[in-house]
Amino acid sequence: MKPLFEDKHIIVVEKPQNLPTQRDKRGGINLYDQVKDYLEFGCGIENPYLGLIHRLDRHTGGLVVFAKTQNATRTLNDLFASRCVIKRYTARVEGYVSEDIKGLTHQILYDESVNLSKIVDASAIGTKLAILDCKLKNHYKLAEGSLCDLLVTLHTGRKHQIRAQLSHIGHPILGDEKYGAKMAQAYGMSIALWSSELIFSAFGMNYHFTSQPPNVGIWKIK
């Protein structure tokens, strides 16, 4: 594990797909422990502090920021909670998406028993507002069907939000069988969703980080 950026406040890394951000019920390797090992064994910091600020789903890769001090953790938690962080994702979806696509606003309900989010009527109990913007980046015409790359800007951070909202409008993320994808077997055992940009201001600094999906596996056009 090699960080993309590090200063006295934060450390930014690129999470591989199919790796949990933190320890989960499956156990095994996770990103948090890898970063902590880097600080301890790679940098020689005894019992290093590491603050977990936000998470990516196991199947989502890309940018993750950790705090290196308790003060930095409080500052970043406040920034993320107040939606002062710009978060953009690259999503490769099934089907042709019109260039006119812009914002999506839905009510979303997460069912923990099946680990699935659904778009529901606003009158349903327990729903939360889910808002994102979309911009078409690329369109691929393949023998088995069309694929499109979207740049997605999150305005809320609901569980499986991007996956659920894109599936609801008929464009599930490539490989995401849980949310209705049909072309998964041709492209591997992951989903084409990547945390590609984080922008925020803190500690007197303006931070801007970018990351591109690797041209392998689910991301390789065949």
Instruction: Give the tens place of pLDDT for each residue, 89-132.
Output: 999 999 999 999 999 999 999 999 999 999 999 888 899 999 99
Q: Which of 24, 33, 37, 57 is catalytic?
A: 57
**CATH class assigned to 86-222:** alpha beta
Per-residue model confidence (pLDDT) at position 221: 85
Sign of the alpha-carbon torsion through 28, 5, 83, 169: negative
57 is catalytic: yes
CATH of 1-82, one of 3.40.50.2000, 3.50.50.60, 1.10.10.60, 3.30.2350.10: 3.30.2350.10
Bridge partners, residue 118, by sequence:
109
Q: Per-residue b/e over 74-93, b at no fewer than 16 CB within 10 Å?
A: ebbeeebeeeebebbbbbbb
Output 22 or 28, whichever has higher pLDDT: 22
In which region does residue 97 sit, left (phi positive, over 0), alpha (psi from -120 to 50) or beta (all else)? beta
Query: If residue 218 lies in a helix (H) or strand (E), which one and from where to where?
Result: none
pTM: 0.93
- pLDDT tens sequence across 186-210: 555 689 999 999 999 999 999 999 9
Q: How far is CA 149 from CA 51, 67, 184, 195, in A?
A: 32, 31, 16, 13
